[in-house]
Structure 1
Amino acid sequence: MQEITGSDTATDRRVALNAECIAVPFLDGHIPAVVVDGRPRVVIKPVVERLGLNWASQYTKLSAARWGRVVLVTTQLPGDTQSRGLATISLKAFSLWLAGIQEGRVAEHARADVIRYQDEAGDRLEEYFFGNLGAAARLSPAPLALNLDLSSLDEGTMAYLAQVGQALTQTSQALIAQKAVTVRQAKELEAAQHKAEVAESKAEYVNNFVDPNAANTLFRTFCGQINAPERKLREHLRAKGIIYKKLAGREWSKSEKRWKDVHEWNAHASYKTWFHQADQPDAPRLHNNQMRTTLYVTPIGKVAIDRWLKRNPIEGAK
């Protein structure tokens, strides 16, 4: 099997292999495939064009991917009048390539096909080539004609050979099923890795360039943003074990001419990322010279509290 890394040009066709094209029925058409060295491969260009993608850019992507392994094969597609050198990839590479397509970036008329291909094409190819005897025969050498004289074997030996044959059949079926699972897992892993890379980039940007306290919002202001009564939301969060009130000190009330207790709000340990306790250096000190603090809501807390309130609404709040 010869691999290519360049574009689909006449120069590349000089290394092409010959193989018969197999039209695997799928949706309202087919997926063209060939069998090379006993393994099925997908003729990729017709699929790229079916999904409304640019062939040149997709070929470059496949050639650069470590899992791409593009092989040029000379074959005649259904409906064509002659054999041509066409790029092919393995079933595993086909599934990984499909998983990497973002349906939001393809033409609107092709999005439904992209989703169907991502969800079903890999399984359909696996089923066609490995899931039934008729298709599997294309990938296997002709059965050996064994002219063995078993007449001299006793019943115990015959029973043992039957058990061995049954075990081999079961093992073969298990390996075929495992291969199908592996292909589906590869698609899921590729999609998960893409999401993780996006999330990691966002997290790295926040860690490197965003002041962690710059986007904090005063609790009272946050209540106004989500249209929640401040007093009721404080008590609701306290009742659910998210924040708590503690005695911070006392202050002198000129109007009442007496000392009054001053309480502050803090977050329980499990919810520290939702809130930020900020010092208020310009506010009057308490009787013990302790600096006052004010509760702020962090960006993480804003999203978390908003979601939490949808599951745990404030009773009586509109």
Structure 2
Amino acid sequence: MNNLKKLEVPFCNTTIQAIEHNGQLYVSMRPICKNIGLQWGSQYNRIMRDEVMKTCVFIMKTQLDGDIQNRDIVYLPLSMLNGWLFGVSTKKIKPELKDKLIKYKRECYDVLYQYWTKERFEFMKEINKLLFEFHYEKEGASQAGRILSNWKRIKPRIENKLHSLMNQSQLQLTV
């Protein structure tokens, strides 16, 4: 536990306990479930069934105050907490938290919509602009390359003709 750093993280107008492990923030899931009225065992099973969340779980054995034996504490990356909470049914939480969770879910829908539409649209617009510029400049470089290649081919012929004419004109002056 000496390489873990305990922190408090602001989340949805409250503070949750977190730890830093290998440069990433993790939250203990059991207290969060308890605070919103969810059964921990069911939520643990739900996390472990999820193809993404189960790969990110960090389990640490620790001795809680007053306990003789070590217990498993299940941590989920803070970055996964929104996805987990978004999947919580409002029918399974404390009634006094239902409105707050519904409001949170609406915000999640809006944020996802903004991400996949507005922000992605601006991002794709910038990519398309750069692609157009790239192809325009590439075409210009290709034309310049063709002109240079043509110049290399005709330059010796023009120089030879010029030298020949200059030599002829000098011969005529001396005669």
- Normalised by the size of structure 1, how large is the TM-score? 0.28
* Structure whose alpha-carbon radius of gyration is higher: 2
> TM-score, length-normalised on structure 2?
0.48
Q: Which has the higher helix share?
A: 2
